[in-house]
Amino acid sequence: MKQTMKLRSGATIPHLSLCEAEQKHYLTRNVLNKMHLMPAGDPIAYDENADGSITYFFDPSHVVEAPPELWYAPAQKTETRTLESGREVVRMSTKRAAACGYYTKERLDQMNYDVIEEPVAYTLRNDKSVIYFYDKKTAVRRPLMCVACGKEIRYRRKLCRACFDADLAVRRAEGDEHRSAFYHMKRERVLFFDLELTGVYTHDEILSVSIVDGTGRVIMDTLVKPAHKKKWKQTEKIHGITPDMVQDAPSLDDITDRIKELFDNADILIAYGISTDYSHIKYIYDTEEEREALHKKARCAATEFVRFQSEHYPDLVHASLSDAMERLEIEWDGVAHTSIADTIGCAKVWEKLFPHYYDN
């Protein structure tokens, strides 16, 4: 007999006899039901019955009171039935059982679970035949099968290893074709930009703006004095912009017309993780039509890198600008996490991903 069991949660619990469990004051599910209690966590130990079923023991310090609707009921619904092991289970309705997370063996099989514990409750059909309920928390989930072939265990993206590799080859070919296409964009009409902020929320403010075109020319690189925020200690640790540094900087209103002029004359606007930058820069425009026009020009370098990485390096998951620079073997110009260095880095990442993007 095994001396330990690994639960779905990853926890490992020891084997104890009923006598040993009682000495430790552990409670069985049957005792908890009688006390109108429910487990608040994983079992603390287990015992294997003669018929091969499992009885779990629970720590009395990790239980909670069961909702009244689960135990306050007419007398006939508190009837009990004795199992072959000698353990009693309580009668309850199907609805009440589902509220407790108890299901029939057939239903758990449909949910891809195998039952290893004894029933925890039961009900009766109209013909008085018995339906047993089992606890989903202590059932064992079977490996899910590939949604494509249905023959092998899933590996990634709900596919088995063979189907995943075949799908990856198709996605990689499509992605490479997308990235190697000729887009005939004019370098001076493609702008890369980055903002540094007091925080990530919409009520936070812009602290710096950097704009670089496809030729590598720096068009704007300025600190910005926020109108309301006086300190930003959390983000200051990232970008290094202090309140003193922006004290004499122009306000956003001072540079809004220039930013609009640059953006309006551009064909494409690119940033790394553009959703955050767009959610702040869009407020320099007054109408939804103007904001929508800005959004149509926007492209996200992070999205393109994530696609490239998932197609060529599926084992990697991190996709920050620093990760992209390292993966594509690009050197930094300046200090990472400053808006100008991030803008130049974004432009380099984009050109590495799309070598034929510009009409040279």
**Per-residue pLDDT reduced to its tens digit, 217-260:** 999 999 999 999 999 999 999 999 999 999 999 999 999 999 99
Q: pLDDT grade, residue 5 (50/70/90)?
A: confident
Q: In whole angstroms, what is the distance from residue 144 CA to residue 131 CA?
A: 27
Confidence class of residue 109 from pLDDT cuts 50, 70 and 90? very high
Identify the band that residue 36 occupies on the pLDDT scale cut at 50, 70 and 90: confident
Please give the average per-residue pLDDT across 158-180, as a whole number: 97
Determine which of 48-62, 164-178, 284-298, 313-327 has the lowest per-residue pLDDT on average. Answer: 48-62
Helix, strand, coil percentages (3-state) for the chain, rounded to 5, are: 40, 25, 40
Strand bridging mode 218-223 / 268-271: unpaired
Separation CA 186–CA 357 (nearest Å):
9
Number of H helices, E strands in the chain: 12, 19
Mean pLDDT to the nearest integer, 317-326: 95
* Residue 76 binned pLDDT confidence (cut-offs 50, 70, 90): very low
Average pLDDT estimate for 187-208: 94
What is the rounded CA–CA span in Å between residue 175 and residue 71?
58
- In the prediction, which pLDDT does 78 show? 66
pLDDT for res 50: 78
Binned at pLDDT 50, 70 and 90, residue 77 comes out as very low
